[in-house]
Amino acid sequence: MRVALIHDHLAQDGGAEKVLKIFADMFPQAPIYTLLYEKKNTDKYYKGHRIETSVIQKLPGGVKYYQWYMPFMPMAVEFFDLSKYDLVISDASAFSKGVITSPDTLHICYCYTPTRYLWDYTHQYINELNYNKYFKKLISLVLNYIRIWDKSAADRVDKFIAISQAVKKRIKKYYRRDSVVIYPPVEIDKFYISKEQASDAAADKSAFAKAMADKYFLIGGRLAPYKRVDIVIRAFKKLALTPGPSPAPDVAEEGGLLNGVVPKLKVFGDGIDMERLQKIAGDSKNIEFLGRIDDDNKAGLYSRCQAFINPQEEDFGITMVESMASGRPVIAYNKGGALEIVEEGKTGLFFSQQTPEAIIEIIKKFNGRQFNPEEIRQAAEKFSLNRFKAEMKKFIEKEYQRFKDQ
């Protein structure tokens, strides 16, 4: 069976690119078609694979400023000639699902989401752009054109796979298509439970206070405005100024925020929102930006944190699973993929308002001792890499056989 893989672009390194790497491992002979790529990313993850790019790769600024070529991306992805393949697998949140395939080719789309800035986030996306109102009007017209194309592109897909129930619902809403859910793979074996967790602190009050002071809350990934890291930074900035009143002795012994202990926040990752977030943090001593980190350092950060904070509405949320694979609870906004990952009181806590005040409230009442690291780690197992490969293989074989029998 001749297989081709289609990916939106390889200009960044995120969760979608990790999934593509798994597809590339599953189909080592399959070429990867993509609008454009940065060589450092392809050399790192896809060495030995043939990479086919669109004309955008060769245009001036096509890689560094690829967003400016958005109006041409629908046309660019349609130029790929896939007529010789039996199976095409697109993993898409934008353009790659729009490839044109022959009647003898099965096209399966692993859909991260219907394109958010074209559908449910359109108005928010435009409002957050740092342009004048006239240029925003022009962008709105471009998005309207691409939205029409996006619906047409979705009609070309033979079978949709959604990454979560939340995305399945969105596919039905905007594309009027059914889909099955196969959760993304998380390489949980790369993460571990640390012996340094606060739940292992000595029972006496002074030892627990020291453990709290040495530990931190964690947030990170791709830093973009929609990730809402800003509300967490504002919360921890306020907590540094007013850490809160001393709790009753029984609360202190069970793990409440102790008087005089300022909770710390570590932020890993990079992105377009980095500069703004650093300005918000100012000179707060309890907030540390780590930038991009390698997998080993990330695993260590997860294992020693008090909890990982997820303040945005995610389509799924790989970082939440990585935290759980490290035995650490998740503090999450109670919408989207988090509802399919986190179990209240067992693997984490939820908050319902995306405000600094809601973050402050839940941090002050957070009790790390109520969570069992082994139980949290076990809950992450259902998102394992082996599970993903087995489910994908079964689905592809079944659908390909059905397609050939038609």
Give, in order, the Cα–Cα distances in Å from 7 to each of 37, 97, 273. Answer: 10, 8, 24
Neighbours of 344 (CB within 10 A): 11
Predicted TM-score (pTM) of this structure: 0.83
Neighbours of 104 (CB within 10 A): 11
- Write down the domain spans for the chain: 3-185+384-405, 188-383
* 96-131 pLDDT per residue, tens: 999 999 999 999 999 999 998 888 877 777 777 777
CB 378 within 8 A of CB 321: no
Mean pLDDT of all residues belonging to the chain: 88
**CA geometry: angle 152, 157, 159, nearest 5 deg:** 145
**CATH classification of 3-185+384-405 is 3.40.50, yes or no?**
yes
Residue with tokens 């000639």: 81
- Residue 214 pLDDT level (bands cut at 50, 70, 90): low
- Residue 209 pLDDT level (bands cut at 50, 70, 90): very low
Whether the per-residue pLDDT at 249 is higher than 70: the answer is no
* Buried b or exposed e, range 345-354, using 16+ CB within 10 angstroms: eebbbbbeeb
User: Do 3-185+384-405 and 188-383 have matching folds?
Assistant: yes
Which residues, listed in sequence order, are joined to residue 351 by a DSSP beta bridge? Answer: 333
CB 157 within 8 A of CB 97: yes
* 321-343 pLDDT per residue, tens: 999 999 999 999 999 999 999 99
Beta-sheet strands, E only, within 236-347: 265-268, 287-291, 308-310, 330-333
- Residue 371: burial class (beta carbons within 10 Å; 0-12, 13-18, 19+): buried
- Residue 38: burial class (beta carbons within 10 Å; 0-12, 13-18, 19+): middle
Least confident residue range of 39-48, 70-79, 183-192: 39-48
CATH of domain 188-383: 3.40.50.2000
Whether the per-residue pLDDT at 196 is higher than 70: the answer is no
